[in-house]
């Protein structure tokens, strides 16, 4: 599959929307404190050769470089606009056909991307090709059934459950999280460990967590209206209710992600 034809399961324009810069920054701000500790426990204080596959604007790659001082590190992303915001070295390219030799990396990060790909197993096979014999992949995987809101109406509370099957028809699997172990095994990984990573409005910065859903609304309201047939104003109202919930210290909101460690 060539990068020129890759459409992120029908949502390429959303992945490349200006709002994605804010999305990636807000997500990194609420997730990194826990993810950093998971990486330290798994890999120690220093890293070898690191690739951030689908690095976006380089938010996490920058943090990895500052915290772990890897011997070598680079990012790869299909969208040049993201890479212009990243700290070099980074490379523009297709993750399905990465421009690196076999066994080039000790650690490969794959974060927030598998749910947007029509063939995640093919990408994971490429990750396996790029790993050194004792290399490991670190994946941050989403399952959109694991986002909880304490809101009065079921339409908002179950918003992502309604959206998921509509996106599935376009090749985007919002339930990727529950499939990740099977997909890794299909790609040739044999040693797999999963850590839950829970971001909620009790422990995370509530304003930063609210910003995640703010930027999701700005980037996705139009396509969500298309796939559900609901007015764009209704989609925006739902996101407004999510944002209000996150900001309210008296009501709970949570986002469960999976931090996966995989070795061939």
> What pLDDT, in 10s, does the model give residues 102-139?
999 999 999 999 998 989 999 999 999 999 999 999 99
Q: Name the packing angle between helices 206-228 and 232-247 (round to 10°).
A: 160
pLDDT at 3: 40
Residues of the chain with pLDDT under 70: 1-15
Q: How far apart are CA 187 and CA 190, in angstroms?
A: 9
Q: How far apart are CA 89 and CA 70, in angstroms?
A: 13
pLDDT at 89: 97
Please identify, in words, the CATH class of the domain defined by 8-263: alpha beta
Which tokens hold the place of 234?
Answer: 């209704």
pTM to 2 decimal places:
0.94
DSSP 229: -
Model pLDDT for residues 164-196, shown as the tens digit of each residue: 998 888 788 999 999 999 999 999 999 999 999
Name which of 100, 52, 93 is nearest 73 in CA terms. Answer: 52
pLDDT at 171: 80
Q: How many CA atoms lie within 13 A of 7 on its CB side?
A: 8
| Token pair 């995987």 in the structure block, residue | 141
User: Is the CB of residue 242 less than 8 Å from the CB of residue 156?
Assistant: yes
The domains of the chain are located at: 8-263
pLDDT at 167: 85
């Amino acid at each position: 599959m060539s990068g020129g034809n890759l459409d992120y399961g029908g949502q390429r324009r959303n992945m490349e929307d200006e709002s994605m810069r804010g999305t990636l920054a807000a997500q990194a701000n609420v997730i990194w404190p826990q993810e950093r500790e998971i990486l330290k426990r798994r890999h120690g204080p220093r890293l070898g050769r690191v690739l951030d596959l689908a690095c976006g604007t380089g938010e996490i790659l920058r943090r990895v470089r500052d915290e772990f001082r890897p011997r070598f590190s680079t990012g790869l992303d299909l969208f040049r606009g993201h890479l212009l915001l990243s700290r070099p070295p980074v490379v523009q390219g297709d993750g399905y056909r990465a421009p690196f030799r076999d066994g080039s990396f000790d650690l490969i990060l794959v974060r927030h991307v598998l749910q947007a790909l029509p063939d995640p197993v093919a990408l994971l096979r490429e990750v396996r090709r790029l790993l050194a014999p004792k290399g490991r992949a670190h994946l941050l995987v989403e399952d959109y059934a694991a986002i909880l809101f304490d809101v009065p109406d079921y339409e908002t509370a179950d918003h992502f459950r309604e959206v998921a099957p509509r996106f599935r028809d376009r090749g985007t699997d919002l339930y990727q999280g529950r499939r990740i172990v099977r997909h890794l095994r299909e790609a040739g990984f044999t040693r797999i460990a999963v850590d839950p990573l829970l971001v909620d409005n009790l422990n995370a910065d509530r304003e930063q967590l609210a910003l995640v859903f703010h930027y999701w609304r700005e980037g996705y309201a139009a396509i969500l209206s298309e796939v559900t047939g609901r007015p764009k104003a209704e989609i925006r109202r739902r996101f407004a209710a999510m944002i209000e919930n996150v900001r309210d210290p008296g009501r709970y909101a949570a986002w469960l992600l999976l931090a996966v460690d995989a070795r061939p």
